[in-house]
Chains A and B, each alone.
Chain A
Amino acid sequence: MSTPVAKTVNGIVVDDTFAEAFGMTGTALVITADTPKWAMISATTMTGFGTSVIGCGAECGIDRLMDPSETPDGRPGVRVLLFGFSPDALLPQLKNRVGQCVLTSPGSACYNGLESSEKFALSAGPRFFGDGWQLSKKLGSRRYWRIPVMDGEFTIEDKCGMTTNAVGGGNFLLLGRDRAGLLETTEAAVEAIAKVPDVITPFPGGIVRSGSKVGSKYKGAIASTNDAFCPTLRGAVKSELGPDIIAVLEIVIDGLTSEAVANAMRAGLKAALEAGASRGLARISAGNYGGKLGPHHYHLKDYLA
């Protein structure tokens, strides 16, 4: 372990390092349904298999639940965020996910969740499912499409906002002496981040256990296990782990703005430092590529509350 220490808080070492994040394209949708349960089912389904742009095409997650008073149609809703490498890469993901997972979900409706001058044609794919029976209704500056389906109508807004100023890959690593305690600590950090608007933690439950490094010994694999952070390889490779570390978990954060990611980093680190002291959290670090690849650098020491 060679990374310098920035600070020690509650007996937990915080490395003097930074998370290196990348510019992304992001969008947000509001999915409503007759009940909170069905809004969540639709949102969960459409954000599924959305952990990493590398293998999933998009990074997706649930931003927050929405009260009926906040949604366009006055029904329970869920705001979801989707991120991709570029507008051209994200648009087909948006179209397919809405078409296969929201259009198909009982009672659902789908609206723009991001005010922006840049737009995606949200309805461009799903509305043609109407086979000519789709109806458009422009109310004020917003156009909606009504598509006849077997349980009535699927309502979808014509366009949704899009930003190319989104950020993907904010992160920090939690290194623990106890695997169960580390998971509890990381869960607490994910819960704290969930309260921050405009961000998601796209991996399962918000947590990554298989951090990766760039490249592989095998031809065709663009990423492989981050052996320097694998505790079972501590004696076999040039390890980043001290002798007491038996598990490492990572939280990856995507946000519609860099400020949102920064807020999430701050909230997550605070929760981890509070929850981790009694649960065997030994050290906090972050993933980067030497600062040469990603334009957004989040130095851990800047986000210690």
Chain B
Amino acid sequence: MSALRLRFKSGGSAPIDLSDLTPATLAGRSHYEINTIPVSAQSTVGDHFDVSGEPAETLIFEGTTSLCDGIGSGLRSGTIVVEGHVGAYAARFMKSGRLDIRGNAGGFLAAGMKGGIVTLTGSAGDFVGALLPGEKFGMTGGTVHIAGAAGDRIGDRMRRGTIIVKGKTGAVAGSRMVGGTIWTETGFGTDPGTLLRRGTLIGPAVERMLPTFSDCGLHDMVFLRLISRHIAEILGPLAPKPLPPKVRRFAGDLATIGKGELLLTA
């Protein structure tokens, strides 16, 4: 596989911002030019990475740590593979392409993401697919798959797209959500869907259900088939098992407009 490889050589103690490094932004650049790209106020790529290979559709980060922020931020095309951990803001505002992280992620993974696919073999911090202060919405498209667990308030103000968490989510998943889908294969922490307006939360269990979610009964909805098939098409072998024929539907958050839903699969 033709790829540009950036091997992390220096840990340091301050976070570095790698949001300018994508296959598109590095295309056609020499190693010298890449080495001189700033990643903090005091340092450049060359201070932290050994660069090898040639710029191509695939960019590989190797040995990264939680100090490496912003990987895949604004990604519009191509693939970024991270053989290591990532810090905060990975895949922020990502539009298309694919980010595969073979490690853990810090906070705000896929915050404001608009499209593409993010996969994470480890666990993610808080505010996956959420928004930052001053922004109107969180994630508005794309698919995020987290093989481990996720932190608190994932999907905060999320509008579209899908977050799949194989492990458990933290507290208050889907807070203030206005659309999209969060699907956990293990279960939700406390109070999922706080101030949920629209959107779908799917999981086998809830640690503590808000009293403002109302039981609508056990139903076999065609939509369950659509979402199972869609996720299988997008994620292939990473996709969770298809949803069961029937799920228990809770409408909420009735403290707001109550047009969201929490679907219990077990």
Which residues does A use to contact B, with CB under 8 Å? 32, 72-75, 109, 133, 135-140, 144, 146, 152-153, 155
CB distance from B53 to the nearest CB of A (A): 32
Q: What residues on B are CB-neighbors of A140 within 8 Å?
A: 230, 233-234
Are A135's CB and B227's CB within 8 A? no
Q: Are B220 and A139 in contact (CB under 8 A)?
A: no
Could you write out 21 A-B pairs with CB less than 8 Å apart? Answer: A72-B229, A73-B225, A73-B226, A75-B225, A109-B222, A133-B259, A135-B198, A135-B261, A137-B181, A138-B141, A139-B162, A139-B226, A140-B230, A146-B222, A146-B223, A152-B222, A153-B221, A153-B222, A153-B223, A155-B221, A155-B223
Q: Which chain B residues (214-246) contact chain A, with CB distance < 8 Å?
A: 219-223, 225-227, 229-230, 233-234
**A residues less than 8 Å from B119 (CB atoms):** none
- The answer to whether the Cβ of B175 comes within 8 Å of any Cβ in the partner chain is no
Partner of A152, one of B181, B198, B200, B221: B221
CB of A137 within 8 A of CB of B225, answer no
Taken together as a complex, chains A and B put the C-alpha atoms of A254 and B219 apart, in Å, by: 40
- In the assembled complex, the Cα of A140 lies from the Cα of B219 at a distance in Å of 24
A135 engages B219 (CB within 8 Å): no
CA–CA, A155 to B84, complex, Å?
42
Let me know if B168 is at the binding interface, CB within 8 A.
no
Whether the pair A155, B222 counts as a contact (CB closer than 8 A) is yes
7 pairs of A and B residues whose beta carbons are closest in the complex: A139-B230, A73-B225, A155-B222, A109-B222, A153-B221, A73-B222, A74-B225
Q: Which of A32, A135, A137, A144 has the most CB of B within 10 A?
A: A137
Partner of B160, one of A75, A138, A146, A152: A138
Known: A32-B222, A140-B233, A146-B222. 16 other contacts (CB 8 A): A72-B226, A72-B229, A73-B222, A73-B229, A75-B222, A135-B198, A135-B261, A137-B200, A137-B226, A139-B162, A139-B226, A139-B227, A139-B230, A140-B234, A146-B223, A152-B220
Q: How far is the CA of A50 from the CA of B120 in the complex (A)?
A: 53
Number of B interface residues at 8 Å Cβ cutoff, please give it: 21
Q: How far is the CA of A291 from the CA of B222 in the complex (A)?
A: 49
**Across the two chains, which residue of chain B brings its CB closest to A132?**
B259
Across the interface, which residues of B come within 8 angstroms of A153, CB to CB? 219, 221-223
Contacts of B219 in A (CB 8 A): 152-153
CB distance from B48 to the nearest CB of A (A): 37
Q: Could you say which residues of chain A place their CB within 8 Å of the CB of B198?
A: 135
Chain B residues positioned under 8 Å from A75 (CB to CB) = 222, 225
Q: Which residues of A contact B179 (CB under 8 A)?
A: 136, 138
Which of A75, A133, A138 is the most central at the interface, judged by chain B CB atoms within 10 Å of its CB?
A: A138
Q: Considering the chains assembled together, what is the distance between the CA atoms of A154 and B160 in angstroms?
A: 21
The listed residue with most A CB atoms (<10 A of its CB), out of B162, B221, B225, is B225
Bound together, the chains give a CA A153 to CA B233 distance in angstroms of 24
A152 partner residues in chain B, CB cutoff 8 A? 219-222
The chain A residue with its CB closest to the CB of B161 is A138
Cβ–Cβ contact A74 & B223, under 8 A: no
Q: Which residues of A contact B221 (CB under 8 A)?
A: 146, 152-153, 155
Enumerate chain A residues within 8 angstroms of B181, measured Cβ to Cβ: 137
Q: Are B223 and A137 in contact (CB under 8 A)?
A: yes
